[in-house]
Structures are given as structure tokens and as C-alpha cells.
Chain A
Amino acid sequence: MDRKTFLRQAAALGLGAGFFTTLLSGCSKEYLTTLGDFDVNFDGKVLIIGAGAAGLTAGHLLRQYGVDFEILEASGNFGGRVKEISDFAEFPIDLGAEWIHTDPAVLSRLINDPQVNADVDLITYQPETISLWKDGELKRRNIFSHFYSEYKFKRTTWYSFFADYIVPNIADNIRYNSPVETIDYSGTGVTVRTNNGYVYTADKVLVTVPVSILQKGLIDFIPGLPTNKTDALDRIDFPDGIKVFISFAERFYPDLTYIGGLGDIVSGDDKIFYDAAFRKDSPDHVLALFNVGESAAEYTSLGSDEAIINRVMEQLDEIFDGKASQHYQNHVIQNWSAEPYIQGSYSHHGSGMDDIISTLLEPLDGKVFFSGEALNEEGNTSTVHGAGESSFPVVKRMLQEV
């Protein structure tokens, strides 16, 4: 089903919205804002694989609609590629996804609760001092600031957003340290086995793991994934990714330093050093490396954190005339490629993105569904909000179908 068809059908079903509120006790009309009005025809159990942004959002919506569900998370914590360190600097730091790449109103849509009584402070992330490091020369290019603007959390993080507003509603339903080995949908329901010997059964399963896990076959599907899905998975690039945060006694760097030329920026091979304390109203000086793409392998392949920080410091000293070593205080490294249940950064879609996503979103036998950062049918891939929003239509479809 393509998106237009989906929207048409959703609108048609919306005509019966008045009937909806009588179906589920505890599901008040204010929860209809994000998914729109529709009839809920499903009253079984859902298993969600993965407690990242997509899985948490899906669980949150299912809770709001009163549907029975469990979330199986492979690691010992929720968040997936949303992760925080709170004791490195005077402000909490996002070790994973950090920017809000869209209208901040998306935060409200993810929470989907008009009764929530809270505000969140954001910064407008429009770096004012921008440099390019290319051919051994640091060149000021502040003019780029006119073409780039996003948002960030000011004194909180993406992680704390989920921790404060999403997870409390679903914490009892998350099963940590439960890496899924097999998803058997050959019977009437779905049977899921984890590598610690537990077996879960459900009527429907929502798979939200990173596409790298599916690409590498780390979850066995019974029957196997159809060829059109494996082909679509092969067409998604999921490159290496790393973030390194370094605290310094003094600031000697611009708000943003691009490594490479404009061609590298456009190609999606992002390597930047940025002031992580930008507009955070903090006395701390924290410079961060964000590197996603082929060039990230320069660090992720080094094998040890010590080798990585040495390499980063060498480069910073070269760029900033030795000031990095002079003012160095501390560092923290988040090597996403080395995370066993992530194994990379985030999806990069080439040509035919719409076809890839629509192929992967098609459920298996009406029982196994997919959502996640790589599967946002609106095109908002590679983002936290896109991951969360990717679960909206999938949850709606799961609830509409018997």
C-alpha cells in the first residue's frame, strides 16, 4: 500500500471515529491527535523488538490505546542510538542522536498527550563561527551559518526526553538483556526466542532494530525474509559512526569545523568538530567529534579507545596549532560501530528510497511489522523524530487490522 492510498483509507475510516471511544476504556479522545481518528479492531498482544526511539514510541502509543504489549531490548538500557552521559560536563551530553532536525513541535507529537504539563528548553543550533579544514588549512566560512539551522535540547537530551516523558508509561513492559534470535511467524501467531532461552508469543510483532541487524542476519525469521525485503535491505548503506567528546581548559575552536570540502558535506560523509557547549550557558569547554560515513572507519577500525583519542588529538593539534594538547582535560568516546546491537551509525538511502521503504514496511503475513530510523515513509529517515514517527502509521495499521 502506498502512502497516498494509506492516507485515503485512513481518512475514510476516520468517518467512524465516534465509535472508537466506546471500544477501549481508558483511551480518551485526546490521544487521537497523533494518529488521527480510526477504528481499533485489534485486541491481541504485540511484541516490540527494540527499545530505541521507534520501539519506545510504538509502546507508548500502544499503552495509550490500551493494547497489551512487551518490548524486548537486547541491551541493558533503553534508547538504542539515543544515549546520554550526565557526569562528563556541567550539562548532560547526547552520546548518540543529538540534534532535532525538524520543527520542535514534533516533541509534542511523539508524546501525544495534551494533558502533559511540561515545557522543554531548546537552543536554536545555528553555529555562528564556522571553519573548513581542507588541504592543511583552516578557512573561515561563517557564511555557511546562513544556510544551516536546527535545534538541540538546552540542558537536557534526547535520552532524557524519552526517559522523562515516554519510558515512565511503559517501563514495566520492557524486558532488558533480551536479544532476539528467532522470529517464527509460520503459525497462527508469532513466536519469538531470545538468546537467553526465553520464548515469547504474540499476535503481532513490530521489529524496530537497526537495519544493520537485519542486513547481517542476526535475527532468524521463520520463514525467511522474502527476497524483495533482503534486496531492499542490501540497498541501504549503514556506515560506521563515532562521537568523541573532549573537555578543554580553554576554548580555542570555532562553533563548527567541517573536515573536508563541500563535496564531502554533500555526499553525507560527515566529519565535524563542534562546540558541544554551544548556547548551553555552561562554563565548560567541550569539543566534540561527530563522524559518520566511510571516513569514520579511520577511528572505528583502530581497535582501542586509547588509539582513537590519540588519533583525534593528533588531528586537533594539527588543526589548532597544538592547542588541543595544551588545554586537554578529559574525554569520552562512543564508538557506535562497536556496539553489538547497533553496529554502525544510521541509514543512508541512495536512489529509490521510497521503493526501499515501502518494500520493507510491508508486513509479513499481516503479523510481523517493521518501523525504525531507516523506515520513515515521510522521508524523515536518519533522525530520532523520524524513527519515532515511523511507528505512527505502523501502529495505526496494526490496530486497524484484526
Chain B
Amino acid sequence: MKQLTLISLILGLGLHAGLFAQSNSLQNTLTAGYFSQLGIEPGVSLGADIYVSTDLFSSSTSAQHHLVFQPQLAAFTNPENFQSALVRGGIALRRTTERKGRLRFRQLGVGLGYMFHSEITGLRVNLADGSITSKERDNRQYVVPTINASMGRMLNDRLGYYLSASYGPKLHAERKPDGAVFLELGLSYSLSPSK
């Protein structure tokens, strides 16, 4: 029940932010990319960058600052040891600049995630042919607050790429917190043309 509440909270915030953003007609993007724990436990990520507030600090420079809400769904694995899924929502302060006619951004953010982790703790091996006939699993859930740093740029008026790194403790009711490092490299697609 707690897990459902947490996931609902994360997705609800995303929906609320999305509605808010639509009212501002901003260049929200969908993201998809390679997602990994420590860069070595591979997976995929789907998400969105939803502009909640734009041009936060008026300044004479060309840089602009925005608040961006980022709901995300990711899955990653070490095939011999575990499969994990992460539902995460985050809010980030994004600084955008323009160079050679293309937008670039850097951002810092915080997030809150719910992670389902299925650890393979045992195997049953058939001695006739070496096949694995069954796997024993230990399923766990973690709450994962994260801090995040990202950067990216547009490649054309729709498509861009981004790099992202997140760090946070994996919190479990019966375990000491473990640090988690998530690395992402992906593409973003603007729902409306940008510069």
C-alpha cells in the first residue's frame, strides 16, 4: 500500500506539473535513453521534461533559468544477479543557453523514486545439460531520494541529447542505506519545435 501511495504521489505530481506546463505552451520533451547503475548494469529509461516555470531570474545575459519536472520510468539489470525497475519524479533547475542557434542546458535537481528490486539468490542447474531450471528470488522495494546533474543540447528543432548522473541512498526498512549511482545517456524529443 505504501508503495502504491508513493508511486501515485510521484505520477500525480507529474500530471499536475504537466497540466501546468501545457497552460504555458512550453517546449516539453519526451526522453528515452540508456540507463544504468554505475554505468555497468544496463537498462533503459523513458521520461519527460516538463517545464513548470520559465525564465525564473530575469537577467541581461543570454542564459535563462527554468524549473523542470521530470517523471521517469527506468529498468536495469545485471542478468545473472538482479532486475530492477525505478519510478522516479524530480524537480530541476535548468539553465539554458543558445549557441550556434541551438539550445543547450545544464541542470541540477532532486528527485524521489520508488525502486523494485528482484535479486536472484539461487539457481537450480540441470546436471545433464547445464540448463538453469529455476531461479530463486528475493524481491525488495526501496525508496530512493536522489540528487541529479544533467546536461544536454538540441541537435535540431526537435531532437536533442542529454547526459545525466544521479546519486542517492537506497532506503529500505530492514537494511542499512546503500548508495546508488545512476548514469544516463539519451535522446530528447520536443513536442513542439524549438529554436
Contact = CB atoms under 8 A, between A and B. Distances in A.
Interface stretch (A119-127, A232-240, A267-275): A119-127
A117 B130 contact: no
A149 interface: yes
Contacts of A121: 122-125
Contact of B123 (A104, A108, A111, A113): A104
Contacts of A106: 130
A146 B132 contact: no
B25 interface: no
Interface residues of A, number: 32
B38 A279 contact: no
A279 B121 contact: yes
Given A124-B81, A124-B120, A146 B127 contact: no
**Could you say which of A103, A120, A129, A146 has the most chain B C-beta atoms within 10 Å of its C-beta?**
A146
B122 A119 contact: no
A120 B121 contact: no
Interface in B111-139: 120-133
Given A124-B81, A146-B38, A146-B41, A119 B124 contact: yes
B129 A108 contact: yes
Interface in A112-169: 113-124, 126, 129, 140, 142-143, 146-147, 149, 151, 154, 165
A333 interface: no
A35 B89 CA distance: 55
**Chain B residues touching A, range:** 20 to 34
Contact of B121 (A105, A124, A147): A124
Nearest to A103: B130
B128 A107 contact: no
B150 interface: no
A279 B135 CA distance: 13
A83 to B, nearest CB: 21
Contact of A118 (B38, B123, B127): B127
A107 B125 contact: yes
Nearest to A147: B40
Given A108-B130, A149-B81, A122 B38 contact: no
B134 to A, nearest CB: 8
Given A104-B132, A108-B130, A142-B178, A279 B37 contact: no
A151 B78 contact: no
A331 interface: no
Given A126-B81, A143-B179, A146-B37, A151 B123 contact: yes
**Could you say which of B37, B78, B121, B176 has the most chain A C-beta atoms within 10 Å of its C-beta?**
B121
B71 to A, nearest CB: 26
A123 B126 contact: no
Interface of A: 103-109, 111, 113-124, 126, 129, 140, 142-143, 146-147, 149, 151, 154, 165, 279
Interface of B: 37-38, 40-41, 78, 80-81, 120-133, 176, 178-179
